[in-house]
Structure formats: C-alpha cells, structure tokens
A and B are shown apart, each in its own frame.
Chain A
Amino acid sequence: MTGRGCMSVACVEAVKLLAQIKSRIVFAVCILAPFAFAVAIRLQNSLPEDTLFGRSVKESGFAVSLVVLGFAALWVLPALTSIVGGDVFAAEDRYGTWKTLLTRSRSRAEVFAGKIIVSLAFTALAVAALALSSMASGVLVIGGQPLIDLSGVLLPPSRALGRVALAWISMVPPTLAFTALAVLISVATRSSSAGIGLPVLIALTMQMCAFLDGPEIFRGLLITSAFSAWHGLLAEPPYYRPLVYGTLVSAAYFAGCLAIASRLLQRRDIGG
C-alpha cells in the first residue's frame, strides 16, 4: 500500500461523489437549512423553550447555532455521515463495479483507504458547512449579541463565538465514529439501504438507551453520549471530562469499525 495509491483512489472517489446529486443536496441543505430556521425563528412569536438555548434564540444569534447543534446531534449528524459512509462501499455492489475497480492497479487496501479518506473528508466538510452556516445565519438574522451560558454567565460575543465553534468541533469525533460505523455496515451488508438507514436507527436506539437506568459506564460507552459533551464548554467554569471521554469512546468505535470493515473487504470474494 502506498500513499500515492491511496490518494489516487481518493481523487477518483471524490470525482464520483461530486458527480452525484446527493452530495450537492447534502451541502445545499447544510448551508440553507440553518438560514431557513433562523428566519423562521425571527418571524414567529413563540420560542423553542424546551430545547437547550431555545429561550435565547431571539436574544443572541449564537444561541441559534447551538439549537441547530442540539437538533443535529439527535439524528441529523448520524444521517449526514451515513449518506456517504453507508453507501461508499455498498454502491460498488449496487452497480456491480467491484470487479471493475479491483482489476486496476490498486490493491484492496489502497481502495479501502481511499474510500475512507473521502468519506471522512465529506463528513468533516458537511459538519463544517453546518457549523459555519448556523453561526452565520444566527449572527446575520438575529444578531451577534452576548450569549447567556448554561451557568447563567453572560459571554461577550467574541467568547461566545469561540465556545460555539468549539462545541461544533466537539461534534467531529462522534460524527466520524458514526461514519466508521456506517462504513462497517456498508461493507458487511453490501446494502446501501442498510448502510444509510441502520446508523440513524442505531443513533436513535443509543439515545433511548441513555434514558434507561443502569451503570454510568454503560451510558459512557454510547457514541451518542459524546454528542452532548459540548454542554461542558458552555458552563462556567468549563468542564472537559465528558469531552475527553466521549472523544476516546468515539476513537475506539472508529478504530474498531474500520479494522473490522477492512478485514471483511480483504477477505471477500468478489462474485457475480
């Protein structure tokens, strides 16, 4: 396996991805949906009070971004990741193109690595697009006023912006873990429907499991716990333990899922 080989596969996968309408739709939604939400909030009289920072959405544009983040963490981010991660391998089965791809000058390891690079890059870019768009829409539509954090402390705009940006960055590890899970499902089931649908279902199941009584360590082992680790960043003083723990759990899922997926692909017979 060579770096050049992996990158040439990644380039090919990127071209394929950009040629598909689904990736353009995903980015369009990531960019436009927060603006639509911010405009709707501004126009309506009521507030989404049962949501974290929902009471503040008309007082600070930064709260808009955090409400979008809270909503996205429920199922949007797992869905976003699985659109590419859950399809990138299974699509080759759907089109019957494994035999075309694997009879060129690239090893299976390079093909695997190239596809993973593109899936992760797409996920990271989609999260970045959603983060930037939600922050921009909040500031442009509502305004860049100070934000009251979860401890009731008023954060000046510059600090609020930094904390909100960090909150979005904290979404990257669990989102990449879900991408790896989607990849594993895609490789194992060879089905795009399963690759895209199951990660969302698993995310919702994990969130339900978090409500159940049981040892704390059990909840800590769920990837979805990492999606709420950003709360510590919006407290005074900030606490980082859930963030570190969530990142470690996400890394474990990430490595485990990709290792199994890679093994499955290496051992697979490419039949008819």
Chain B
Amino acid sequence: MRANVQPFALDVRGVSKQYGSRDALRGVDLTVESGQLHGLLGPNGAGKTTLLRVMLGLITHDAGTVQIFGRDLNDRIARVPDGVAGFVEAPAFYPYLSGRQNLELLSCLDDETAFGRSRVLDARLEQVGLQAHASEPVAVYSAGMRQRLGLASALLRSPRLLFLDEPTSSLDPAGARDVRAVVRRLAGDGTAIVFSSHDMAEVEDLCATLTVIERGQVIFSGTIDQLRKRAPTDVHLLRTSNDRAALELASRRRGIRIDTNHDAGIHISALDSEALDGYVIALGCAGIAVRLLERRTRSLESLFLELTDRPAGPES
C-alpha cells in the first residue's frame, strides 16, 4: 500500500485516445516514482509518442486521468507544471537563432527574470557538450546537436519529471554515452524519467522498470526481471560445425525456436530439456558437431519480440 507516502511522480490511469476510428491509445496505465528511470518500449506506431504527447499536455486524451505529482494534468488549458520537461520526436528550434539564443528565449518563457542569466545557460550547454557551438545558428546544427540542445532545454526547467523520446537516436556512440550519463545522474538526484527508445540494449542498460506498448495497449509493465520471468523458455547459445544446417534442422523440430542468429552463434529457445536433448542428438545424427552449448540470459530484444509477437529475424 502507498498510503501516507508521496504520490507517484507520474500516474497515468486508463488513458485512451482516438484519431477518427483508430485507437491510438487504449486504457493505458503507467506509473513512475521519483528517481525511477522507466523505459517505454514499443514498435513503430505503437503509441509511445502519442502517450508522451498526452503526458506533456500537447494533445488531449479522450478518457482516463494523468496525474503529475498528485495533481491532474488539466489538458491543454493549463501550462505544463513546473518541474516537468521533455521532448517528443526530434527536438525543434528556431533555425535563424543560435543555440544559445534559443535557450535564452525558452528560459525566458519559464521565468521572465531569467533573460540573460548566462551562467545557467552555460552550465546546461556544457552539460550536453554544445558550448563550442552555442553561437552558431541552429540551422547548421546536425540532428545529434539538436538532440543535445533539446536535452539542454529540458534541463533548463530543473526537471523532477522528465520525458525523453529516443534522446540518443541521432547521436554517435560517445554522444549517446554522455547523454546516458546525464540521465543516470538525474535519476540519481531523484528525477523521475520516462525514457522512450527503440534501442533494447539501451533500455536494458538504463532502466530498472519498463512498459511495453503494442497497438496502443500496455502489454507489459514491470521490472526487467519480471519480464524475464514471463518467458517460459531458456535461451541457449549454440555453435556448431555447420550453423546453416543446424538452423535448418532447428526450424523443423518442435519445441525449438531460433531467437537470433549472428556471427557469435545461434540463440535458440527450447520449450523444455527434452526438446533440447532431442535437438542435440539430431544434430549428432546429421553429422553436425556441437562446439558450444551455453545457457544465456534472455535478451530484452528477444523478450520484446516475443511479447509483441514478431518473428525474430537473423541479426547481422
């Protein structure tokens, strides 16, 4: 029970949204506590961005409630509550102004006395690694630089609840690492973060809890460990003398499923140990030597694909 405790930073209950006859969101629930880094996963068109828009007050919802720090988000009439920040899709700015000027104007919208408070702006620009480009017009910024500027503009609001929509999608690996470090630090300082991403490994690395959305509905919400427990099958890494023939054989056997296939070997799921034993014996009978058979932790990707009922294609 959560009696006598602080309200959730974010408490979404039964939110629905229709576009014409299409259900963009159907009874979505989502709760995030302060200091929690919560992943939001789903295939393209699942409703992640629509949900983020609802939570940021950019679009209305047809049913359900959105509470932020215990207070109802009053649709579009009210302003975004203090301490709430974020961006959806690619952050957008005024191209004829510099990155710094954009931040100056946005901070002025948050607090009219903030105009010219260069120390805070400098700190934010430095935090996202944009200080060297702060005076350049946004028109010449790359997608990655705009993403960094988007994060800086969100940080200007000293967020206690932060919504990030694929914040590392346009960044190089070093930039993505820096952003992840900033996100971790914010969560460590008590900021609740909703982190939408297509990158399963990133969500697995950053988030302790996650919500998976498919066709506007939540199909899983909980910890990553809970998600793993939902998978009844074990996954094994298999390396053989002839992986192609082993794959072909696996596709014909009951109780064996190919999760992923890449240079390091084949990831297979066996329904039970009997099915696995039968497959290994069949490999031997077919003249295929088993070089490695190792039990592995299921990747979030394979779990995600299982949840969203999509076939696992071979990885490159």
Is A159 on the interface with B (CB-CB < 8 A)? no
22 contacts between A and B (CB under 8 A): A8-B108, A8-B109, A16-B105, A19-B101, A95-B94, A96-B90, A99-B92, A100-B87, A100-B91, A100-B92, A101-B109, A103-B80, A103-B85, A103-B86, A104-B80, A105-B110, A107-B78, A268-B76, A269-B53, A269-B60, A271-B53, A271-B59
B-chain residues with CB within 8 Å of residue A98 when the two chains form the complex? 58
In the complex, how many angstroms separate the beta carbon of B47 from the nearest chain A beta carbon?
A: 13
Complex contact B49–A272 (CB within 8 A)? yes
A-chain residues with CB within 8 Å of residue B115 when the two chains form the complex? 11
- Alpha-carbon separation in the docked complex, A269 to B91 (Å): 17
Complex contact A106–B60 (CB within 8 A)? no
Instruction: Indicate the size class of the contact surface on chain B.
Output: 35 or more
Q: How many A-B residue pairs have CB under 8 A?
A: 95
The residue in chain B whose Cβ has the minimal distance to the Cβ of A101 is B109
Query: In this complex, which of B79, B82, B97, B109 has the most chain A Cβ atoms within 10 angstroms of its Cβ?
Result: B109
B-chain residues with CB within 8 Å of residue A269 when the two chains form the complex? 53, 58-60
Complex contact B112–A100 (CB within 8 A)? no
Which of B's residues lie within 8 Å of A, judged by CB? 49, 53, 56-60, 76-80, 82, 85-97, 101, 105-106, 108-112, 115, 153, 157
The residue in chain A whose Cβ has the minimal distance to the Cβ of B113 is A8
Complex contact A9–B49 (CB within 8 A)? no
- The B-contacting residues of A in range 3-19, CB under 8 angstroms, are 4-5, 7-9, 11-12, 15-16, 19
Is A264 on the interface with B (CB-CB < 8 A)? no
Assuming the A-B contacts A19-B96, A19-B101, A97-B93, are A104 and B76 also in contact, with contact meaning beta carbons closer than 8 angstroms in the complex? Answer: no
Complex contact B105–A12 (CB within 8 A)? yes
A-chain residues with CB within 8 Å of residue B58 when the two chains form the complex? 98-99, 102-103, 269-270
Known pairs A97-B93, A103-B58, A267-B76; list 4 more (Cβ under 8 Å). Answer: A4-B112, A99-B58, A100-B106, A104-B106
Q: Which of B49, B80, B94, B110 contacts A97, CB < 8 Å?
A: B94
B-chain residues with CB within 8 Å of residue A95 when the two chains form the complex? 92-95
A-chain residues with CB within 8 Å of residue B78 when the two chains form the complex? 107
A-chain residues with CB within 8 Å of residue B86 when the two chains form the complex? 103
In the complex, how many angstroms separate the beta carbon of B165 from the nearest chain A beta carbon?
A: 10
- The B-contacting residues of A in range 94-130, CB under 8 angstroms, are 95-110
Assuming the A-B contacts A106-B79, A110-B79, are A270 and B59 also in contact, with contact meaning beta carbons closer than 8 angstroms in the complex? Answer: yes
A-chain residues with CB within 8 Å of residue B111 when the two chains form the complex? 105
The residue in chain B whose Cβ has the minimal distance to the Cβ of A268 is B76
- Alpha-carbon separation in the docked complex, A146 to B97 (Å): 49
- The B-contacting residues of A in range 210-247, CB under 8 angstroms, are none
In the complex, how many angstroms separate the beta carbon of B94 from the nearest chain A beta carbon?
A: 6
Is A158 on the interface with B (CB-CB < 8 A)? no
The residue in chain B whose Cβ has the minimal distance to the Cβ of A265 is B76
Complex contact B89–A272 (CB within 8 A)? yes
A-chain residues with CB within 8 Å of residue B153 when the two chains form the complex? 100
- Alpha-carbon separation in the docked complex, A137 to B51 (Å): 59
Is A46 on the interface with B (CB-CB < 8 A)? no
Complex contact B79–A107 (CB within 8 A)? yes
Is A20 on the interface with B (CB-CB < 8 A)? yes
B-chain residues with CB within 8 Å of residue A272 when the two chains form the complex? 49, 89
The residue in chain A whose Cβ has the minimal distance to the Cβ of B60 is A269
Query: In this complex, which of B79, B82, B97, B110 has the most chain A Cβ atoms within 10 angstroms of its Cβ?
Result: B79
In the complex, how many angstroms separate the beta carbon of A141 from the nearest chain B beta carbon?
A: 36
Query: In this complex, which of B49, B82, B92 has the most chain A Cβ atoms within 10 angstroms of its Cβ?
Result: B92
Complex contact B93–A100 (CB within 8 A)? yes
The residue in chain B whose Cβ has the minimal distance to the Cβ of A114 is B109
- Alpha-carbon separation in the docked complex, A129 to B284 (Å): 92
- Alpha-carbon separation in the docked complex, A106 to B107 (Å): 11
- Alpha-carbon separation in the docked complex, A8 to B105 (Å): 9
Is A266 on the interface with B (CB-CB < 8 A)? yes
Chain A to chain B: the 5 pairs with minimum beta-carbon distance, closest first: A96-B92, A8-B112, A104-B109, A269-B59, A270-B58
